[in-house]
Chains A and B, each alone.
Chain A
Amino acid sequence: MTETSRLPLSSSIRGKLISAGYTSLSSISSVSSTDLARDVNITEAEAFDILKLVNQISGSNGSSSLINGAKNAWDMLHEEESLPRITTSCSDLDSILGGGISCRDVTEIGGVPGIGKTQIGIQLSVNVQIPRECGGLGGKAIYIDTEGSFMVERALQIAEACVEDMEEYTGYMHKHFKANQVQMKPNDILENIFYFRVCSYTEQIALVNHLDKFISENKDVKVVIVDSITFHFRQDFDDLAQRTRVLSEMALKFMKLAKKFSLAVVLLNQVTTKYTEGSFQLALALGDSWSHSCTNRVILYWNGDERYAYIDKSPSLPSASASYTITSRGLRNSSSSSKRVKMM
């Protein structure tokens, strides 16, 4: 990405500048508008505008935006492509997610009891810690447990399997170099999960409000998991409008956290039955208004004897489903030989 390519100009003019060799701002500002126009094959008026723009930008400390805080689409695409993603340890699931759970987004994952929501939550809180040398983020996790489903022994089991896999990976990669790197131990992985247990919706709201401060003090947190977002909100709200308000505010806070700290927010949700079009259907809990609160939505379901994940909503990913299994080592690809990833 050259400096010129980040200028807010039309792509044809930008293309002409670059192919003429004007790849940096200083190269442009060093010529007169007449020379520039002749060199690049544009009109003098256009060249004059370009020079004015370049001088303006160079004058304001090299910031490449006219309006403070605004970005052009090139910048955003560049950022998005270089965004790290957290692997789920199931490559089929990763591929329908575009590589894994994306940071700076709020992803909702919902399904019936026993389908593996908590397992995915624990797997992500371990996988976020995979060091950069092994292709991970080297970050920490916040796990907000509202249901009491988090079991330390299960997290330890998954952490141990992750350490073994990493040892195998680094052993393979560094075959010809020194074998023993400084490795993470399973207990270190447990210590890097900031575990909060909340027992009521007021505790949940208070904790979410506190997260900004907590994460500012722990900048290496790269994933926040809430298991589940729903539990405390399915009782006692006589005023449904109030519930919707509280939930929307919470969703907004999560989105802001995701963007501000470039971390992934994963909200696990339950399913409920909804009476639509004359019959009962399965739907994610918390109602229709909540469905607008997340960037991405993944639904977990049973298909025969296999567990499947389906991308229900995403701004950039196509609808697709993939199967996964839950093993003693955590989430993995399912072993069935039939086509595991289906595009819709």
Chain B
Amino acid sequence: MKPQNLGRQSPTSRKLTTGCEIIDGCLRGGFPCNSLTEIVAESGCGKTQLCLQLSLCAQLPISHGGLDGSALYLHSEFPFPFRRLHQLSRSFHQSNPSIYANHNDNPCDHVFVQNVNSVDHLFDIMPRIDAFVGNTKNRFPLKLIVLDSVAALFRSEFDNTPSDLRKRASLFFKISGKLKQLANNFDLAVVITNQVTDLVESSDGLSGLRIGNLRYLYSSGRRVVPALGLAWANCVNSRFFISRSNETICKENDESGRSSVSIRAQRRLEIVFSPHLPGSSCEFKITPEGICEV
């Protein structure tokens, strides 16, 4: 049992770029390898968009912020956005032709999609994931695992009784432990998405418990909390929150002197907690080409 020599390894952990400069800046490089990062957001905020983009960016060379690797996309929500993946892939291919020129393949070939419909199913496919990660015959070794979303796996199977909640919590730690072990053994980046639930202040008063840099999480004008509670929050290394709000923009129309009002959906990524990042946030938007700065 020998300790690692921290002085002799790289002074920063490897990061996976998000493909969006402003988010990369906020995250000091991107999503870290050998770490479990959670993206919490309500539906329609862009978690899946960001995950699709990450799956493609993984194929970038390390010099460009990529991992020179392929991605495994485990999805528990239906349907999987194949069309959007192809759209992003075409755009990615156009921007990075050199990666694929010599091999006559395209970015989609290196994003492996697997559906997971329950917790048991996830544990059933773990051995296959182990084998897949260790497989060195692929052109790109596996470097990113996305689980979209963890909340959907637990949606309907557990009641609200203390014993069921305990069983559920122990499954959280089992999943997290297994993914962290993979991340450590193969230096993978692991990204897990989670949903939010509306905060209903109940008699036990712990649903509003503050976890991280933000006292309150707001999205679409409502106060929300990440799903799966305190137990799951203990299982991830970093938590990012994406929110959506409507911003009213008043524009002056010069010719006729009239002003017009338009409503723009504003998307914001905030760091709730992370061992190496201070609390900060940034704004982004979603275009046909993907996620980029405003």
Inter-subunit contact B276/A154 (CB<8 Å): yes
Which chain A residue shows the least CB distance to B36?
A148
Q: Report yes or no: A190 in contact with B7, Cβ–Cβ below 8 A.
A: yes
Indicate whether B174 reaches chain A with its CB closer than 8 angstroms: yes
Count of chain A residues near B, Cβ 8 A? 50
CB-CB under 8 A from B32, the residues of chain A are 151
Decide if B180 touches A153 in the complex (CB within 8 Å).
no
Nearest-Cβ distance from residue A129 to partner chain B, whole angstroms: 13
**Contact among A142, A148, A155 with B34 in the assembled complex (CB-CB below 8 Å):** A148
Q: Are A206 and B1 in contact (CB under 8 A)?
A: yes
Q: Do B237 and A231 have beta carbons less than 8 Å apart? A: no
- The CA of A55 and the CA of B243, in the complex, are separated in Å by 80
| Residue ID in chain B nearest A112 by CB atoms | B211
Query: How many whole Å from A279's CB to the nearest CB in chain B?
Result: 5
B184, A197: Cβ atoms closer than 8 Å = yes
Cβ of B62 < 8 Å from any Cβ of A?
no
Contacts of B205 in A (CB 8 A): 279-280
Q: Among the listed stretches A4-12, A26-34, A130-138, A268-276, which one makes contact with chain B, having 4 or more residues with CB under 8 Å of it?
A: A268-276
B1-18 CB mask vs A (1 if < 8 Å, else 0) is: 101111111111100000
- Interface presence of A119 (CB below 8 A): yes
A207 interfacial by beta-carbon distance below 8 Å = yes
Shortest Cβ distance from A246 into chain B, in angstroms?
Answer: 16
What are the interface flags for B172-184 relative to A under an 8 Å C-beta threshold, 1 for contact and 0 otherwise?
0110010011011
CA distance A339 to B37 in the complex (A): 37
Query: Are A114 and B7 CB-contacts (below 8 A) given A148-B180, A235-B170, A279-B205?
Result: no
Q: From known contacts A150-B275, A154-B276, A279-B204, infer whether A191 and B5 are also in contact, taking CB-CB under 8 Å.
A: yes
Task: Report whether over half of chain B's contact residues are helix, strand or loop; otherwise say mixed.
Answer: loop
Closest 4 CB pairs of A and B: A114-B273, A191-B7, A235-B173, A114-B212
The answer for the CA separation of A49 and B28 in the assembled complex, in Å, is 74
Q: Mark B155-182, 1 if CB is under 8 A from A, else 0.
A: 0000000100000011101100100110
CA distance A114 to B7 in the complex (A): 26
Task: Report A-chain residues with C-beta under 8 Å of the C-beta of B35.
Answer: 148, 151
Interface-located stretch among B75-83, B131-139, B143-151, B228-236: B228-236
CB pair B6–A190 under 8 Å, yes or no, is yes
CB-based contact A235/B177 at 8 Å: yes
The distance from the CB of A133 to the nearest CB of chain B, in whole angstroms, is: 22
CA distance A147 to B36 in the complex (A): 9
Which residues of chain A (255-274) have a CB below 8 Å from chain B?
270-273
Q: Which residues of B contact A214 (CB under 8 A)?
A: 1
Task: Knowing A153-B11, A199-B180, A235-B173, say if A112 contacts B233 (CB, 8 Å).
Answer: yes
Residue of A nearest to B3 (CB): A194
On chain B, the residues within 8 Å of A119 by CB distance are 275
Contacts of B237 in A (CB 8 A): 147-149
Asked if A328 is at the interface (CB within 8 A of a chain B CB), the reply is: yes
Closest chain A residue, CB of each to CB of B231: A272
Q: Is B11 in contact with A152, judged by CB distance below 8 angstroms?
A: yes
A172: B residues at CB distance < 8 A: none
Chain B residues close to A by CB (< 8 Å): 1, 3-13, 28, 32, 34-36, 162, 169-171, 173-174, 177, 180-181, 183-185, 203-206, 209-213, 215, 230-231, 233-234, 236-237, 239, 272-273, 275-276, 278
CB neighbours (8 Å) of A149 from chain B are 237, 275
User: Could you tell me if B184 and A199 are in contact, using CB atoms closer than 8 angstroms?
Assistant: yes
A290 at the interface (CB under 8 A from B): no
Report the minimum CB–CB distance from B88 to chain A (whole Å). Answer: 29
* Known contacts A113-B211, A187-B7, A280-B204; A272/B230 CB under 8 A: yes
**What does the 1/0 interface line of A112-129 toward B look like (CB < 8 Å)?**
111000110000000000
With both beta carbons as reference points, the residue of chain B lying nearest to A125 in the complex is identified as B6
Question: Can you report 5 A-B residue pairs in the complex whose CB atoms are below 8 A from each other?
Answer: A114-B273, A148-B34, A200-B177, A210-B1, A234-B170
Q: Cα distance A275–B203 when bound, in Å?
A: 13
User: Considering the complex, which residues of chain A in the window 55-113 have a beta carbon less than 8 Å from any beta carbon of chain B?
Assistant: 112-113
Q: How far is the CB of B16 from chain A (nearest CB, A)?
A: 15
Expressed in whole angstroms, the Cα–Cα distance for A150 and B238 within the complex equals 12
Flag whether A156 is at the interface (Cβ < 8 A).
Answer: yes
Q: How far is the CA of A282 from the CA of B174 in the complex (A)?
A: 22
CA of A151 to CA of B212 in the docked complex: distance in angstroms? 18
A150 — which chain B residues lie within 8 A by C-beta? Answer: 275
Report the Cα distance A230→B204, complex, angstroms: 25
List 11 extra interface pairs beyond A197-B184, A279-B205, A280-B205, CB under 8 A.
A113-B273, A147-B237, A150-B275, A151-B35, A151-B276, A154-B276, A191-B5, A196-B1, A235-B171, A272-B169, A272-B230
Assess whether A156 is in contact with B4, with CB atoms less than 8 Å apart: no
- Contact indicator A152/B275 (Cβ below 8 Å): no
Q: How many whole Å from A94's CB to the nearest CB in chain B?
A: 23
Q: How far is the CA of A190 from the CA of B12 in the complex (A)?
A: 12
User: How many angstroms between the C-alpha atoms of A169 and B184 in the bound complex?
Assistant: 39
A231, B4: Cβ atoms closer than 8 Å: no
Alpha-carbon distance A153/B169, docked complex (angstroms)? 31
Which residues on the A side are within 8 Å of B230 (C-beta)?
A: 112, 271-273
Task: Let me know if A152 and B12 touch, CB within 8 A.
Answer: yes
A195-B237 Cα distance, complex, nearest whole Å: 18
In the complex, A305 has a CB within 8 A of chain B: yes
Is A193 an interface position by the 8 A CB rule? yes
Min CB distance, B178 to chain A, in Å? 9
Interface string of A41-57 (1 = CB under 8 A from B): 00000000000000000
Cα–Cα, bound, A142→B1 (Å): 13
CB distance A154 to B204 under 8 Å? no
Task: Report Cα–Cα, A210/B1, bound state, in Å.
Answer: 8
**Across-interface contacts of A207 in B (CB, < 8 A):** 1
Q: How far is the CB of B91 from chain A (nearest CB, A)?
A: 32
Known contacts being A195-B4, A196-B1, is A232 close to B13, with CB within 8 Å?
no
